[in-house]
A and B are shown apart, each in its own frame.
Chain A
Amino acid sequence: MAPSRPRVSLFITCLGDQFFPEVGEAAVKVLRRLGVEVTFNPAQTCCGQPAFNTGYRQEARAVARRVLDIFEDAEYIVAPSGSCTTMVRVFYPELFSDDPALEAKAKKLGERLFEFSEFLVKVMKVTDVGASFPHRVTYHDSCHLLRELKIESEPRALLHAVRGLDMVEMQDFKLCCGFGGTFSVKFPEVSVAMGEDKLQAAIQSGAEYLVANDSGCLMHLAGLIHRKSLPVRTLHLAELLAAQE
């Protein structure tokens, strides 16, 4: 059974805070629509992934250490990002593996922290969140969400329940879009080439919107779309689920 009135502390993520506040707003709207009590702790900044991903474990650890404290008392924590959820659930325990107390704390946090679509389907036990969006949409599996958290069916179930939505799958839909965190600036040509392939697949599917749950991937793809004026748009799943067109 879903908890009667769950309390969610929002982990907005640094990208969500600085670049895509509308994603966070949409997440709040959907959660409130479902009767969730949403709080936001302004002490939060970043999960530490940029440093961890680039091999700077000490810096990542310092930043991660703060996250452990900030969300210590929260009942549930929800992040609109598969990648930041992965950082906490999968990589924090590894980062603190030499300190049993912190490792235990990290594991506990990982059990209470959910990616947005995962929270809706697994904790709230809903797929129909009352959204309507009469457009053709394709879903991009971001890699951390798909392969680290194994979340594949949840976002699709949510999309299928959206009124008016026409869902199509892309060719090679499990293929990485090429963002990869600091990979995107360390190997920019390769990153762009991978992104172009992904967008070609999206366009060929006939979708108006490419939807994903990670602002990193979406920022990379939207940047390519804008540079090359490609005929497809990006949208975060939270924004789509907030829509009642």
Chain B
Amino acid sequence: MSVHGIDTGKIHEASASVLRDAHLQDAYKSSTLRLYTERLHAIESVPGFERLRQRGRALKREVIEHLDEYASQFADGVEHNGGKVHWALTGEEVCSIVLKIVKDADATEVVKAKTMVGEEVGLNHYLESAGIRGIESDLGELIVQLADERPAHIVAPAIHKTRQDVSNLFVKHFQSEKTEEPERLTAIARRALRECFARARVGLSGANFAVAETGSIVLVENEGNIRFSTTAPRVHIALIGVEKIIPRFEDLAVFLRLLPRSGTGQKLTAYTSILTGPRRSGEDGPEEMHVLLIDNGRVEMLADEKMREALYCIRCGACLNACPVYRKIGGHAYGWVYSGPIGALVTPSLVGLGTARELPFASSLCGACREVCPVQINIPDLLLHLRGKSQDLPPVAKPAGAPVSERGSMRFWAFVMLRPWLYSFGSSLARLGQRLYARNQWIRKLPVYPASQWTDGRDFPALAKRTFRKRWKHL
């Protein structure tokens, strides 16, 4: 699996290989269950958590419906505070703006705090090919960077790595002692990172929230590396997807209660940083603060009235932890930066539905995601919406072994279902046909794709000897 390309088309192969990997199965199962359970405990202590979710949703809706106004208000605020705002329409623009800032600062290294939008635009790769080293300072991000992988989870990038995996990576890259004690592993990472913090001229972060009213950037974390990356270097660059904006400072009272509880099951993360402009005289902090306001496909999402709702997402990862499909196939199988239910929504919108058309189908539509979403995004409904849109695209080639295309079979199905006489006739015919396959009312192998996909892993019941409608006459 490539770290740089888009592999959304390989979801079937990738899922199958994760399912066969007992090590990964254990890692995903135990980590997601732990996060899921801790979230449940954390919300118990908040009376009216449902009302808080409604409020969070209403606030995000307000911003998304008036994004142009709130974005300019935020940008004005940043400039007013002494920061510099850069509008970036595409991923390439993000990368080239960052590179220019880094070069202007005479830097050859950038200390990076966790940023998903940075992953989205392929920043590390871009900087690397320009001779700039991007050093991940988030422990999870560092681990996946050393492993040359993508984050496997929105908030826990190395969720699929065990202590042993981490130990092996550290031995290989830092020539460290071999240990599986979490404290010692953290100490190894800290030693490696402190040096970088001390010498780096440029620090780069994402943002959890951008407050329109004050032009502030809000970052939550547990390791302290974000505070380091955003305050120690002379220059701070913040990458912010435009959907991260919230209206007022006081709205943090809602979101700071929603995010950590939903994401990691914490009442509050260990560090919450609110950055309002670069240093003022007599203060610590960066001399320059650059804020990139990034579109990269978001405005197009806004154009689809239904998909707009996916922009409410505050990237807590709760839907991944709750999703029975994510628990089985993990993050990388989704083939790009965002995974799980929200990834299945966001990825097709950002990389194109044609490229990622399989993703909306990678869900049993069970709705566990919607149940935990802190801003109540109706994820199953949006997945259904994308499924509908994907059938408006030019059809894909029919799979090997399929007698007709999916569209053809659905048309045929509707043709039959609209004609009860044909439905009855067809069902009698099928009863004759199944004699070749059924034994004791079970079928072990169905001959035709996609039905054959069913019997690869389970038996299929034979049609009942007599339909209900026939039996009804004697009831």
A-side residues, CB < 8 A to B, are 12, 14, 16-22, 24-25, 28, 40, 42-46, 48, 50-57, 59-60, 62-63, 66, 91, 94, 143-144, 146-148, 174-176, 178-195, 197, 219-220, 222-224, 226-227
Contacts and interface: CB of A to CB of B under 8 A. Distances in A.
Given A180-B364, A186-B361, 15 more contacts: A19-B463, A22-B464, A25-B468, A40-B472, A45-B423, A53-B387, A55-B390, A62-B414, A63-B414, A143-B368, A147-B370, A176-B366, A181-B364, A195-B458, A227-B444
Contact of A226 (B12, B406, B417, B442): B442
Interface string B13-27: 001100100000000
Nearest to B33: A172
Contacts, number: 182
B467 A18 contact: yes
Contact of B450 (A17, A44, A185): A185
A170 to B, nearest CB: 14
B19 A194 contact: no
Most chain A CB within a 10 A radius of its CB, from B328, B364, B420, B454: B364
Interface residues of B, number: 60
Nearest to A27: B468
16 contacts: A18-B463, A25-B468, A28-B475, A42-B472, A45-B416, A53-B387, A62-B418, A147-B368, A180-B363, A185-B453, A190-B19, A192-B458, A193-B19, A194-B364, A227-B444, A227-B457
Contacts of A62: 414, 418
A188 B475 CA distance: 37
Nearest to B442: A226
Contacts of B367: 143-144, 146-148
A17 B417 contact: no
B366 A180 contact: yes
B388 A178 contact: no
B413 interface: yes
B390 A178 contact: no
Contacts of A226: 442, 458-459
Contacts of B364: 143, 176, 178-181, 183, 191, 194
B328 A193 contact: yes
A197 B460 CA distance: 19
A125 B123 CA distance: 62
A70 to B, nearest CB: 10
B391 interface: yes
Contacts of A42: 420, 469, 472
Contact of B420 (A43, A146, A192): A43
A185 B418 contact: no
B222 interface: no
A43 B418 CA distance: 9
A74 to B, nearest CB: 16
B451 interface: yes
B407 interface: yes
B447 interface: no
B66 interface: no
Interface string B361-375: 111111110110000
A60 B442 CA distance: 29
Contacts of A175: 324, 368
B325 interface: yes
Given A28-B475, A55-B384, A180-B363, A188 B456 contact: yes
Interface in B431-466: 442, 444, 450-451, 453-454, 456-461, 463-464, 466
